[in-house]
Amino acid sequence: MNTLEKLKTKYLLISLLLTSFVIVIANLFGENPATLASDWINLLVTSAVVVLSMLAIRKHGIKGNHGKAWIFFAICVGLWFIAERIWMIDELVYNTKPWPSMADFFWMAGYPLYYAFLIFYLKPFKDSITKKMLISAVLVSLVILFPTLYLTIENDSELNNYEKALDASYPIADAISLVPAVIGISLFFKGEVNFSWTLLLFGTLSFVVSDFGYLYLTLGNMYYTGHPIDIPYIWAYILFSFAIYTNLKIFRKRNAENTYHDQEKLR
């Protein structure tokens, strides 16, 4: 790891620890301060992801698998950004219950685009993806799916069937995204993709952890915005931001060596 990578890793760790510290301290003062802290931190980190994804499109263009991948990602995080703001406005402005709401439509609409992003990013490496790698990734996904389905079906909560199904849909959607993400990290360890893949994977894992915790707490009527379970959720956006930033830095470095600006060589 060179000096620049060590510096980026240092700032990443500081960002993760700082957001965790703020939310934990806010919880010591009650639910309302915790909600305010979580919502405003969420605004900051999601805005960063949207801006950086726009810069990624500007850098990579719209041609080739790489360019298409970042277009899908940018639209995805744009939809999620809208969902986050609907949640925030319902909660802080209208003082209404933000779930279920129209925000869920935008969140769920973003997942197919996120899958498309991962698939297009992996497409140039299809010859390197082995059956063993694919089976392992599917098994990881199933390990997440089964407890989610069991917890939802067997839980005796006050939620109606629609709310239970909606509640379970997020960790299920996250689990599906683990398949291409785990394949990507396997390729990273084989030296075929860059460090940004590790950040994307851990971002996806953070979503899975947070959404599974959200499911459990919601079924038990214990969740509120700003609950510590929101920490890995915010981490996911931070990891995505650093993943894009790292990718842009790699692009800038290699572009000078890539005479014909072949996007597939910039991976």
Q: Specify whether the CB–CB gap between 207 and 174 falls below 8 A.
A: yes
Residues, the chain? 267
- Residue 6 banded pLDDT, cuts 50, 70, 90: low
Class of residue 150 by CB neighbours under 10 A (exposed 0-12, middle 13-18, buried 19+): exposed
- Does residue 167 surpass a pLDDT of 60? yes
Class of residue 255 by CB neighbours under 10 A (exposed 0-12, middle 13-18, buried 19+): middle
Q: Which pLDDT value is given to residue 40?
A: 96
Q: Which pLDDT value is given to residue 265?
A: 47
3-state DSSP of 32-71: HHHHHHHHHHHHHHHHHHHHHHHHHHHHHCCCHHHHHHHH
- Residue 184 banded pLDDT, cuts 50, 70, 90: confident
In 3D space, the residue among 239, 225, 235, 230 whose CA is nearest the CA of residue 211 turns out to be 230
- Does residue 261 surpass a pLDDT of 70? no
Q: How far is CA 109 from the centre of its chain?
A: 14
Q: How far is CA 46 from the centre of its chain?
A: 10
* Mean pLDDT (whole number) for 81-92: 95
Q: Which pLDDT value is given to residue 79?
A: 97
149 against 225, higher pLDDT: 225
Instruction: Give percent of the chain with pLDDT exceeding 90.
Output: 46
End-to-end Cα spacing for the chain: 18
Q: Specify whether the CB–CB gap between 54 and 74 falls below 8 A.
A: yes
State the average pLDDT for the chain.
86
